[in-house]
Amino acid sequence: MKYNFDEICDRKNTDCYKWDLAPHIFGHEDIIPMWVADMDFPAAQPMVYALTQRAEHPFYGYTHPGPTVVDSVVERMKKKFNWQIEPDWIVFTPGVVPALHSAIRSLTHPGDGVILQEPTYHPFFPAITESGCQIVKNNLKLLNGRYYQDYDDLESKFLPQTRLHSPPRIKTILFCNPHNPVGRLWNVDGITQVGEIALDNNMTVISDEIHCELLFKGNKHVPFASISEEFEQNSITCMAPTKTFNIPGIAVSSIIIPNKKLRDGFNEIGSVIVSGPNLFGYTALEAAYRYGDEWLDQVLDYLQGNLDLLMEYIKENIPGIEVIEPQGTYLVWLDCRGLGMGPAELGRFMLDDAKVALEDGFIFGETGNGFMRMNIACPRLILEEALQRIEAAVNKR
Ligand SMILES: Cc1ncc(COP(=O)(O)O)c(C=O)c1O
């Protein structure tokens, strides 16, 4: 089936965050919402069919993930990443964010340190602090329009002389691949360096790979845990079909924990904090993984077209903004420092002058000051309109 992603669908009055909350949060009726991470494209037809079929059976009792649901995750990991996992490694949760909270609590004691790599997905901060832990920053480096991990800095967190000055015992790292918000895909070498530093220092890796199937052309995702058995045994991998297939409101994710001790710890904490996904989550996950690829292939082509347009348009027409070219996700990190505005002023400028709702860079950490994150998963006409609005506002200054 051919999907038409150019079609502008009216999502208003569906209680969606993106369109229905935007006027309240941002204070303008006619704002173009390009903030929260979902796509303005209807979900794949097989998924709609599967959910409708399930809804027509009028029993919505407590439900466990049946064998075909579990197998669909096992098969997906094998098919997409050549990663052979076992069914009992999978724990289903109603989202990656609650799983991050459970994972951190299961690996740490209050006061321990958790590493994150700023700028980073903003719910990582409360996942650490609300678990009573301390944030230890291993910030990314920006060199010539591209972000890199800083392995020397990461290693230095474990040096005895550093420890004297920074008391928390570091137990885990929130590793994000592909990385939100900068769109970087860490390759085997980058993953291996982090994994080895982790092994050398008794640090478990929590690897958030929710965007792993949203890649631009020429990129290939490698799950952290697929590198070696040692990495597998020292990690908690967060996977989900929700970003990939645009069903985040369905709230379902599969957390893959090969190490039984880590898995038991996660389950013990997790079962206290949250229950499993709702039954439609299981239906949607299986339908997406088994029958969603026709849609996904087309959406990835379309997103590539949007990215190409954005890069070209900004380069040609909007001085002061530089696109950090992403390798994955549909979230684009815009370096707006050339506009010469402070962080709050930049956000207000995009809202009040351009009438475009982007995510403020500073919510991803201090290193996000002067940046904005734009969600380009929308019909091309909307993207063009947003770019024209930003261009006009910049020209007017
Ligand atoms: C890196 C990352 N992790 C987790 C999530 C959200 O996961 P969930 O909706 O499953 O809680 C997002 C959403 O944008 C994300 O970018």
| Confidence (pLDDT) at 274 | 73
Angle, CA of 282, 283 and 289, to the nearest 5°: 90
Å from CA of 163 to ligand 1 middle: 31
Task: Report the residue count for the chain.
Answer: 397
| Confidence (pLDDT) at 273 | 73
Angle, CA of 357, 360 and 364, to the nearest 5°: 140
Write down the number of H helices and E strands in the chain.
14, 15
- Nearest protein CA to atom 14 of ligand 1, as residue: 37
| Confidence (pLDDT) at 389 | 98
- Give the Cβ contact number of residue 12 at 10 Å: 12
- Nearest protein CA to atom 16 of ligand 1, as residue: 180
Closest CA to 316 of 249, 239, 384, 370: 384
- Nearest protein CA to atom 10 of ligand 1, as residue: 95
Å from CA of 394 to ligand 1 middle: 32
Q: Which atom of ligand 1 is nearest to the CA of 97?
A: 11
Mutate to test the pocket of ligand 1, among 91, 122, 180 (most ligand atoms within 8 A of CB): 180
Mutate to test the pocket of ligand 1, among 96, 102, 206, 207 (most ligand atoms within 8 A of CB): 96
Report the C-alpha gap between 50 and 209 in whole angstroms: 25
**DSSP per position, 233-274:** HTEEEEE-STTTTT-GGG--EEEE--SHHHHHHHHHHHHHH-
Å from CA of 97 to ligand 1 middle: 6
| Confidence (pLDDT) at 167 | 62
Alpha carbon of 258 to those of 83, 120, 226: distances in Å?
A: 12, 26, 11
Report the C-alpha gap between 108 and 82 in whole angstroms: 31
Mutate to test the pocket of ligand 1, among 35, 184, 210 (most ligand atoms within 8 A of CB): 210
Å from CA of 210 to ligand 1 middle: 6
- Nearest protein CA to atom 13 of ligand 1, as residue: 37
Q: Write out pLDDT tens, residues 271-281.
A: 777 778 999 99
Closest CA to 172 of 183, 157, 184, 188: 157
**DSSP per position, 362-385:** GGG-GGGTTEEEEE--S-HHHHHH
Q: Is the CB of 242 under 6 A from ligand 1?
A: yes
Q: Is the CB of 96 under 6 A from ligand 1?
A: yes
| Confidence (pLDDT) at 162 | 59
Q: Is the CB of 240 under 6 A from ligand 1?
A: yes
| Confidence (pLDDT) at 166 | 56
Å from CA of 341 to ligand 1 middle: 29
Å from CA of 146 to ligand 1 middle: 23
Q: Is the CB of 210 under 6 A from ligand 1?
A: yes
Structural domains for the chain: 17-44+293-396 (3.90.1150.10), 61-291 (3.40.640.10)
Per-residue confidence in pLDDT tens, the chain, 397 aa: 999 999 999 999 999 999 999 989 998 889 999 999 999 999 999 999 999 999 999 999 999 999 999 999 999 999 999 999 999 999 999 999 999 999 999 999 999 999 999 999 999 999 999 999 999 999 999 999 999 999 999 999 998 755 545 568 999 999 999 999 999 999 999 999 999 999 999 999 999 999 999 999 999 999 999 999 999 999 999 999 999 999 999 999 999 999 999 999 999 998 777 778 999 999 999 999 999 999 999 999 999 999 999 999 999 999 999 999 999 999 999 999 999 999 999 999 999 999 999 999 999 999 999 999 999 999 999 999 999 999 999 999 8
Q: Which atom of ligand 1 is nearest to the CA of 240?
A: 10
- Cα–chain-centroid distance for residue 126? 16
Å from CA of 240 to ligand 1 middle: 9
Report the C-alpha gap between 63 and 67 in whole angstroms: 12
**DSSP per position, 319-345:** TT-EEE--SBSSEEEEE-GGG---HHH
Å from CA of 175 to ligand 1 middle: 13
